Amino acid sequence: MNQPLVSCLCVTRNRPRLLDRAVRCFLGQSWSLGELLVVFESDDAATRDYLAGITDSRVRAIEVPVEPKLSLGALRNLSVRLSAGDYVCQWDDDDWYRHDRLETQMSALLASGLPACVLSRWICLDVPRRRGFVGRHRTWEGSIVCRKDAMLPYPELAKKEDTPMIEALQEQGKLLLLDRPEVYVYHFHGGNTWDRAHWVDVVHGARQMKSSEVMQLLDAVEALSLGVPQDDEVAQMIEPTRRTCDRAMQGDKEPVTISRFRFAGQSVRLRVAGAQLSRHMNEAFDQLRVDEPEDSPAALHIEMWDRARTGIGCPGVAYVPDSTTLLDGGIINSYADEEILRYERGHYVTTLDRAGSRLFSCRADGTNLALYERAKPFDMMLARWYYDQGVQQIHVGLVSKDGDGVIFVGASGSGKSTATLACALAGYAYLGDDHNGLELTPVGECIGHSIYNSARITEDHLVRFPQLAPWEIKATSEWDHKSMLLMSRIPIIRTAATTRIRAVVMPRVVGEGPCTWQKASKVQTLIALAPTSLRGPLNAGYSGFSNLADFIPRMPCFRLNIGRHVEDIPACVDSLLAEALP
């Protein structure tokens, strides 16, 4: 097939660094027949000087008089008229295009027989705050590729100049919607035609990307010579905490340890100043430990220090919070549109820098932690970080057999912990008994992730499962109402980091008779899962409930009746799991 010539049309003003990236993206395209027209005004010396250094003949500089002033729409129309191609393609100077963007859209366009194509989704990258989203389904006007003789004129507007033209093409039945978001990255950098308020509207309803995916995009951006600064406001707010952390880590009073883990598949680096504090934190995440170089890239950096041992406290914040949430014994303040979250509770302070993927925590005395602190450190802040990765923290028990997972849902006293422990003692892999992660993948899989290595137990649990008694860690604080088990330390227990969820089970203790099961209503199952999973000041709110409402209909749901003999629970779960498997 002979490739038609495609004219890529770029209107720019005084942004040579951004323009340089757009030019590099064009020159790297796999579609061989193309030209790039760069339109700029005569008072823009920076752009003129930059283009003077471009020797590739495929890049054409179009200088227009600054007076009379032309709108963005008028400048785009001028570029269409001056183009030599059979097709034209909008090529904004501040976006990023994969090497096959032209080839992908042109191939689909030629195969369809239609004259015009836009993407139905694209990737939205917030570079200052290091966030990425896969945009919701719509016509993304800026991705237009159109046969020149079918191209409609842009309205002569300064903003929204492309929307009426795209709507008209769609109404005429001339527009192909192509779902290939990976070829186009819409880039928010702080100097866009539209401000951050518009950006927030753009990403509303979009799927947030994992940190590892965002890091790959940022690497691609940096490879094209664009700096990636952190948002100035966020950087200024977090700087005192970062400096204080560095002082704690550089002191010689306590050893500093570095450990590596995988949280929901994401690389995490934990650095702790304080020997006892380090031991407790490593125990909490022991089932997620991995062997990785200490200084390899990480999606989350956790920095923690013991105030009593290092002599370094945590600084205050010299900014007024956007919002404040009072808790029983603590307070959460949010800053910079929730980019910084700070939890203070008397004897410790934890700060989550969401933009920088860093978590700082200062404990008053690492040798005197309550069991709840050892069992589930950073619980609220980690819940928010996990949600940023597309993983929702849910309140369930989670076990797995041969990679097939079962979750147990219900309120306190429902038998959730009893069912989880019974299965773990019968050979099921243990992932968690309270806080676990739920991930709904783009291909429709439901993945469960282990978060903590602990199980909280009561005296009744030890009566039912006396074989666990040697590993009981007893409560020593008035804040603790339960004892604790560290599951990876128990020889008769296997742990796992992740599993594919196959069934959702609602246990209930009936007390008499054998253990039995039957299929359950999905509505009842959602009612059992949602309240305990959505409570808390940093919960996922409406979007979290929407995820659960999407998750439960995909799952076989069961009621588990726990009778007199808890040792019969695993056989019942085996049976219902066999029913659930395809």
Closest alpha carbon to 136 in 197, 191, 177: 177
CA distances from 295 to 86, 116, 267, 271 (A): 51, 48, 11, 11
Confidence of residue 228 (pLDDT cuts 50, 70, 90): very low
Confidence of residue 321 (pLDDT cuts 50, 70, 90): confident
Tell me the mean pLDDT in the region 224-250.
73
Tell me the mean pLDDT in the region 91-95.
91
Q: How far apart are CA 404 and CA 183, in angstroms?
A: 35
DSSP string, 21-85: HHHHHHHT-S--SEEEEEEEETT-HHHHHHHHT---TTEEEEEE-SSSPPPHHHHHHHHHHH--S
Confidence of residue 125 (pLDDT cuts 50, 70, 90): confident
Kindly tell me if the per-residue pLDDT of 580 is higher than 80.
yes
pLDDT of residue 137: 86
Q: What percent of the chain has pLDDT over 90?
A: 60
pLDDT of residue 444: 81
pLDDT of residue 196: 52
For the chain, which residues make up each domain, given as ranges? 6-224, 231-388, 390-580
SS3 468: helix
Could you tell me if 464 and 566 are in contact, meaning their C-beta atoms sit under 8 angstroms apart?
yes
The CATH architecture to which 390-580 belongs is: 3-Layer(aba) Sandwich (3.40)
Fold adopted by 231-388: Phosphoenolpyruvate Carboxykinase; domain 1 (3.40.449)
Structure confidence by residue, pLDDT tens digits, 163-210: 788 889 999 999 999 999 989 998 775 544 444 555 566 666 677 777
Kindly tell me if the per-residue pLDDT of 25 is higher than 50.
yes
For residues 85 and 412, the model is more confident at 85
Identify the CATH number of the domain defined by range 6-224: 3.90.550.10
Q: How does the average pLDDT of the chain come out, rounded?
A: 88
CB atoms under 10 Å from CB of 222, counted, come to 12
Confidence of residue 512 (pLDDT cuts 50, 70, 90): confident
Q: How far apart are CA 507 and CA 504, in angstroms?
A: 10
**Of 237-241, 280-284, 349-353, minimum mean pLDDT range:** 237-241
pLDDT of residue 540: 64
SS3 98: coil
pLDDT of residue 205: 66
Confidence of residue 159 (pLDDT cuts 50, 70, 90): low
Could you tell me if 153 and 135 are in contact, meaning their C-beta atoms sit under 8 angstroms apart?
no
For residues 528 and 251, the model is more confident at 528
Kindly tell me if the per-residue pLDDT of 405 is higher than 70.
yes
